[in-house]
Structure formats: C-alpha cells, structure tokens
Structure 1
Amino acid sequence: MSDRELAIGPRLGAYGRRVLTTFVRAIVQIVVAYVGNLSLFILAVLSLAFIPLGIGVVLVPVMFQAIRTVANLQRAWAAEWSGVEIPVPYRPEPAGGLGLFGRLRWTLSDPASWRDLLWTLLNVPVALVLGVLATGMTIYGLEGVLVAPWLAQITDYGWGPFWTLDEYGAFGVIGTIVLGAALTAVSVRLGPVLLRVHALFCQSLLAPTRAALTERVQRLAETRSETVDASAAELRRIERDLHDGAQARLVALSMNIGLAEEMMRDDPETARQLLAEARAASGSALTELRDLVRGIHPPVLAERGLDGAVRALALSLPLPVDVRIDLPGRPDAPVESAAYFAVAEMLANVVKHSGSQRAWLQIEHADDRLLMIVGDDGTGGADPARGSGMRGIERRLAAFDGTMAVTSPPGGPTVVTMELPCALSSPKISPSSETG
C-alpha cells in the first residue's frame, strides 16, 4: 500500500467525523428549539397570565430561571461549537435575600429576562430553518451516494437528488453519485457556517445590550472609586499607626541609648537601666511592626493559603468556631487576600457585636466562584446599612465583582454569604479537615 493510500484513510475519517458532528449538532439545535424553547415560551406566558391569580408569583421566577438555564446552555454551545462568546447579562441577586414578591419583581425588572423570552420564541423558526439546511444537505447527499444507486440496481427504481433514476439509466446513477458527493462535500463546509450563523443570532438576543454594558461600566467605575478611597484610607491608617506607634517608640529608644552613652562613665547603674528600657522599647516596637505587617498581608496567608490562614484565625478567637473548608487549590493572591480579610472582618463583628456563644464558617469553590458563609447564634439584627464594617466588606468584594448577602432576623441566627468569582490555580497540599 502506497503512502498516498495510507494518507487517504485518516482524511476520510476526519471528513466523516465532521459530517457526523455537524449533523448531530444541527439536530440538537432543532430538538432544543422545539422541545425546550417552544414549551418554555408557552409555560412562561401562561405563568405571566396567572400572576393576578397568585400562582404566577411562584411560577414566573421558576419558568424564567428555566429559560436562563437553556439560554446558558446555548451560550456554552455557541462558544464551543462556533467560537462565538455570549456574555451572561443577568443582574446579580440583591443582598439580603428575596421573598416571593421580591424575587418576582427582581426577575421581571431585569431586561435580560424579556430578551430571553423573545429568544425562546424566535429561536424556534430560526433553528428549524438553519438546522434543516445543515442536516438536509447531509442526508440528501449521503442518500444520493449510498442509497439511491444501489436501490435502483435492486428494484429498477430510485430517487436521486433531483430526478428519478429510471428515467436516465446509467447516466442518472452516475449523476446521482456525483451530485450526492458534491452535496455532502458542501455540507461539510456550509454546516459549521450555518451553526455559526445561528450562534450569532443567539448572540444578538442573549448578549448584554448597550444599556446593560453602560450600567456595568458605571458599576465598575463606582466600585473602583470606592476601592481607591478604601485604599487611601488604609494607607492613612498605616501611616498613623507608624507615626503614633513604632516611630514614637523608636525615637524614645534612640534617646535612651543616647543618654546611656553619656552616663556610662559617670553613672553606670542608671545607664544600665536606660539600656534595659531601650531593650524593652525595641521589643514593643518590633511587636507593633509585626502586627502592622500582619494587618497588611498576614505571613500565614502567603505560606499556608486561605485554608490555613482562616483556620489559624478561627483558633485565635475567644469563642468556638466550626470551620469547614473544601478548596482544591488556591485563588490568585489579590482574591485570596480579599477573601481572608472579608472573613476576618466578619468574625471580628461576631466577637464584638453578636453576643453569640459559637460561630461557624464554611468556604468552598464551585462553578468558578468562591463561596464563604459566616454564621453565629447571636442576637441577630445585623444590617449592612448601619455598620461601616459590613459596608467595607461589600466594597472590598465589589472590587472583584463579588457579592454579599446578609440574613439576620431579630433573635438570630445571623448568616452572611459572600461570593467571589475566581479560578483556583495550584492544587492544595493536604486535604481539608474540620476544626472545632
């Protein structure tokens, strides 16, 4: 067998895989459009009509969430099959949780919900037309090559792509094979193009609008401004701590050493006392500097990651904290630092204000989001609008597109849920365990 013949086999295999892949994807789009989109559109419209009856208050958020699930599936297919990125345009859920009417209002006030509903309707004819074109050429072409000529040999009758084979005899058979092969070849090239056209159509309805992008840019500008203000305030705090603390101790240390040098010959005993005071002052200054550095970026966070740093923090608190952490890797350093200080601030609030006997902390990573839950059995009534600490946490998380939700009814318990979008990099060294 020649090298050319050996090379033909893999090419035919790749050709066949492309035909089959395009065919299957087009069929999937047709099925999703008719089984998924059409049924969801009808059910969503009915749920909207049932709002005055009360049952729609429950059904509308459920149906629109189902539409979002299908739309997100379409976004994933568009990126994987055609390289068309469709960003998710949905507004984040407000902090503090939502009741039935709040969830209904949040769902219907999001413009992306109505665009999704329009997409479920328009996608039915569009997916059908483009899917039939992509699959029809493949089916018709393969029929002309693999079925019609051989059926004509057995039954003296057959249907080619555009004519009956019994009318033209051998010329009809040859023409059918040639035309069928041409249609199949065209389907290999045109099928992915039609899938991309469908992806672009979906992008036109499922991607964020200009108004949504403008709102997003404004939100990012606000969070950046808040972050800059918070960073400036943090720098002023560090400067003040250095000036009033370590710097003052170092100045006193220098003066004591100078006096000791002058009195070393005439009054050795007083000089020794001054040197002892200087040594104590140097220890205090060193402790203050370490505390200051730990407040900027704890060494344990750099050495042991978020898992180890949070566990060490929990052990240092004056009340028991149940810690459950499952992180298969480490976030990027800025995200890790933001997460640590957010958790640290929440635990500090628990100690200072909650009056609780115990607290619990859960950290896990799923769907490219870092989830942190801090709870306590205290008196409840926590309100982010009344406390600068929680507002500071919101600003810190918002700088990374994160969110915070607080549930704290009077009498407790208080549960704070924080999320940060992030990916994990290196795997963890040892499995997590529980700490009480």
Structure 2
Amino acid sequence: MTIDSKNGGMRAKWRGMVLAAVRGLALALIALPGSVLFFTLSVLSLAFIPLGAGLVTTPYVLTGVRTFAHWRRVLAAEWGGVRIPPAYRPLPQDANPWARTFGMLRDPATWRDLRWLPVDMTAGFLTALLPAVLLLYPLEGFAIAAGLWRVLPDGYWYGFVPVTGQASALGAAALGAVLLFFAHFLAPRMLQAHFHLTRAVLAPNQRELAERVRVLTETRRDAVDTSAAELRRIERDLHDGAQARLIAVGMDLGTSEALLDKDPDKARELIAQARASSVEALAELRELVRGIHPPVLAERGLGDAVRALALRLPVATEVNVDLPGRAEAPVESAAYFAVSEVLTNAVKHADAERIWVDLHHAEGMLRATVTDNGRGGAVIGAGSGLAGVERRLGTFDGVLAVSSPAGGPTMVTMETPCALS
C-alpha cells in the first residue's frame, strides 16, 4: 500500500468522524424535541378518547407519529444503510373518525411507534449525541492547553486530569489527543448504533411480518381489481368513442360511394365529414393510449415523461431528475401515474401557484417528491386520490408519505424499492 493510499484512507476516516458527529448532533437536536412533542400529543389525545375529542385528534396525531417515524427510517437508510421496513395496515378510504381511530389503534405498528418515542428521547438521544461529544470533548482539551486553563475555576477536572496549571493543561491536551484518536473509530460506530437501536424498536417482528404478507396480498388483490376496472374503462371508451366514430366513418364512406355519380356535391360533403370523424377518432385513440402507457415513458423514460407531464400543467412546475438508469417498466409506470395523480391533486385542490418535482434514486429506492405552495390540508383517504396512489405503490412494496399542514406547503413523498438498469 502506498503512502498516498494510506493518507487517503486516514482522511476518509477523519471525514467519516466529522460527518458522523454533525449528523449525530443534528439528530439529537431535532429528534429529541420531535419525540417529546409527539409522545406528549399521543398521550393527551389517547386520554381524551373517552371524552370524544380524542376520536377526532388521534388519527391526525398518529399520522404525524407515522410521518416522523418514516422520516427516521429514511435517515437510517440514507445515513447508516440500515433498512427499517414499515408494516402499517391499510385503512378504508371512506372511514369515519371512529373507524379510523380504532383501526389505527388496532394496528401493532402504531404501538411499536409509540413505544419507540420514549426510547428515542432517552437512549436514542444519547447514542445520537455521543459522536458529537467524542469529537468536541477532545477539542476542549486542546483549548485548555492553549490557554483556556487560566479562566477555568479552581478544582476543574478534564476527564481524570485535574487542571491546575500549564503542565496539567498539557496533560489534558494529551488526553484529548488520545480521545480524538479513538473518536475517529468510535464516532461512526456510535451513530450506527443509534440506527440499529431505532431498527430494534421500529422493525416488525415475525408476527408482524406475517401481517405484512397479508397486507401485500391485499394490495396485490387491489391491483388486480384496479387492472380489471381499467380494462373495463378502456373497453367502454373504445366502444363509445373511437369505435362509434369509425362505424360512422364507414357509413359515410358507403353513402358517399353510392352518391358519387348521382350527387357529387353531397358525396364530397360526406367524404369531408368522414375525414373529420377519422381525425377525431385518431385523437381519441392517441389519448386512450397515452392514458394506458404514455409513448414518451416507453421511449424516453420516467424523467422525460414527468417533464412532458409538467409542460401540460397550467401551473409553473420545476422538475429535477437524477436517475442514472431506468427502472423496470411496471415500476416506471406506477411511479409515473402516481406523480400524475399527485400533480392533478395539486392543480385541482391545492390552488398552488408553483410546483416542484424531484426524482432520484438512492440506496435502492426510487424516490419521487412533489411539493406545492398551495393551501395544504391534504390527507390520505380524504377523497384526494392519495389512497389510490398508496395502493398503486403498495403493489411494488412502495410507501407514500404526506406532509400538508393547513396553509401549506404540501409535500408528498413516494418511495419504491427497485434497481436501475
């Protein structure tokens, strides 16, 4: 091994230590208030169920808990490479508050999330903060040796070194150097331990995995039902639209052929009418084919298909694509129509003035995020079409997360596990 490669390896380890410290500190500062907030809201909301108010608030609070837990799953995958699969039971789209509340409370995944919150605000907070402590505490030792010892109170200890003068301050610096040496090994491992702790509490057990299989079976059955309904729609559109027009074209051409010698003017009029009908039938067929599988999706891929979709919207839309390859055709199709449905919702219901779409692939996940600056208030299962998007993605073991506070903005994130060619 050359000196350059050794130096490069050391630099990578030190960068990993600093990155682990920064990420751990961010997790500790953001996750602790979030866990305390959601745990407090959950306890209060559940306590008010007997009074009736909790029936209304609990679904919203638990949805917030799920969103918070999902965000931590994403961070565990992106920052630590630790996969934590969700296993939530689907809820009926038209469920009333009573059914929605107790449907979520009967879900084992809900109680797993609630058990995770106190763990996250205690042991999770400490394991997230330790990487930053392992980096910052040695720096304190160096600062003491550089002159900070002069302003420290009498009897100050740095670790096991009592700081009384410059000599002991140099001892504190030596101890800090030793701690820093071990920190570049331990800091990334402590952050990894934080994510493994999160997985130990949030990951489903064998019984819940069996429940997950049941959920996947239901989503696939929903997909079959949806496909059958789509075939019936296509058959109806062909029968009532293009087929009827083509029959009319044939009749017009037959009549014009009979009138060609007797009444040429009338024949020419019928031929022109048949030509107009054929143009309309062709346009309907093209629209029907675009609804089944857009040609641009098959030819150019998901990124260009979404860009083409954005160009047809009446709202200014910015599309950012980072896809180094193409997913399998069924996954691309599901992602395309999911994004299409979310964009349609943003235009129809959100009164948005601007929309941002981000498509990228990382850690084996195809992630599509649609953000708008509309009025917010979007929830899954409120007639917005998001429940259908969730079922469509569920066919491929994908997930849907919605963040839409009143007043906006709305951010819808769709993730589907897949590999790119």
Mapped pair 1:120 → 2:117: yes
The partner residue of 1:82 within 80, 83, 89 is: 80
How far the C-alpha of 1:339 sits from its partner, in A, is 4.0
| One-letter amino acid matched to 2:113 | D
Identity %: 24
- In the TM superposition, what are the counterparts of 1:343-362 in structure 2 within 5 Å? 362=350
Contact kept in structure 1, 2:257 and 2:267, CA below 8 Å: no
The secondary structure found in structure 1 opposite 2:183 is: helix
Work out the CA distance in 2 between the residues paired with 1:25 and 1:241: 59
How far the C-alpha of 1:116 sits from its partner, in A, is 1.2
Cα pair distance change 1:260/1:109, threshold 3 Å: same
Work out the CA distance in 2 between the residues paired with 1:304 and 1:189: 45
Contact kept in structure 2, 1:246 and 1:289, CA below 8 Å: no
2:197 maps to what in 1?
A: 201
Q: Deviations 1:56-102 (Å, cap 9, x if unpaired)?
A: 44564565455445434534543454344546655566434744x44
- In the TM superposition, what are the counterparts of 1:303-322 in structure 2 within 5 Å? none
2:361 maps to what in 1?
A: none
Contact kept in structure 2, 1:342 and 1:393, CA below 8 Å: no
Q: So what's the TM-score if we normalise by structure 1?
A: 0.55
How far the C-alpha of 1:26 sits from its partner, in A, is 3.8
How far the C-alpha of 1:184 sits from its partner, in A, is 0.5
Say how many residue pairs are matched: 347
| One-letter amino acid matched to 1:335 | F
Work out the CA distance in 1 between the residues paired with 2:149 and 2:265: 117
Q: Deviations 1:30-68 (Å, cap 9, x if unpaired)?
A: 556765535654664455345435554456456545544
Contact kept in structure 1, 2:253 and 2:274, CA below 8 Å: no
- In the TM superposition, what are the counterparts of 1:357-372 in structure 2 within 5 Å? 362=350, 364=352, 365=355, 368-369=369-370
Mapped pair 1:214 → 2:213: yes
Work out the CA distance in 2 between the residues paired with 1:132 and 1:110: 32
Q: Which runs of 5+ in 2 are unaligned?
A: 297-304, 322-331, 358-368, 375-380, 401-410, 416-421
Work out the CA distance in 1 between the residues paired with 2:252 and 2:273: 9
Cα pair distance change 1:149/1:243, threshold 3 Å: closer
How far the C-alpha of 1:197 sits from its partner, in A, is 1.6
Work out the CA distance in 2 between the residues paired with 1:21 and 1:233: 54
| One-letter amino acid matched to 2:198 | C
Contact kept in structure 2, 1:119 and 1:206, CA below 8 Å: yes
Work out the CA distance in 1 between the residues paired with 2:390 and 2:213: 21
How far the C-alpha of 1:151 sits from its partner, in A, is 7.7
How far the C-alpha of 1:196 sits from its partner, in A, is 1.6
Work out the CA distance in 1 between the residues paired with 2:149 and 2:320: 66
Mapped pair 1:290 → 2:289: no
Work out the CA distance in 2 between the residues paired with 1:273 and 1:137: 92
Superposed CA RMSD: 5.7
The secondary structure found in structure 2 opposite 1:205 is: helix
Work out the CA distance in 2 between the residues paired with 1:303 and 1:68: 28
Q: So what's the TM-score if we normalise by structure 2?
A: 0.57
1:108 maps to what in 2?
A: 105
Q: Which runs of 5+ in 1 are unaligned?
A: 262-267, 312-324, 344-359, 374-383, 385-389, 404-418, 424-436
Q: Deviations 1:86-144 (Å, cap 9, x if unpaired)?
A: 46655566434744x44532442333321111111223442255356535544553455
Contact kept in structure 2, 1:306 and 1:336, CA below 8 Å: no
Work out the CA distance in 2 between the residues paired with 1:280 and 1:194: 76
Cα pair distance change 1:421/1:139, threshold 3 Å: closer
The partner residue of 1:335 within 334, 337, 360 is: 337
Contact kept in structure 2, 1:245 and 1:285, CA below 8 Å: no
| One-letter amino acid matched to 2:120 | N
| One-letter amino acid matched to 2:274 | A
Cα pair distance change 1:107/1:128, threshold 3 Å: same
2:179 maps to what in 1?
A: 183
Which structure has the larger Rg over C-alpha atoms? 1
The secondary structure found in structure 2 opposite 1:218 is: helix
1:399 maps to what in 2?
A: 392
- In the TM superposition, what are the counterparts of 1:35-434 in structure 2 within 5 Å? 36-37=34-35, 40-41=38-39, 44-45=42-43, 47-54=45-52, 56-57=54-55, 60-61=58-59, 63-65=61-63, 67-68=65-66, 70-86=68-84, 90=88, 94-96=92-94, 98-99=96-97, 101-127=98-124, 129-131=126-128, 133-147=130-144, 161-162=159-160, 177-207=173-203, 209-211=208-210, 213-237=212-236, 240=239, 244-252=243-251, 255=254, 268-269=261-262, 274=267, 276-297=269-290, 325=315, 327-329=317-319, 334-335=336-337, 339=341, 362=350, 364=352, 365=355, 368-369=369-370, 398-399=391-392
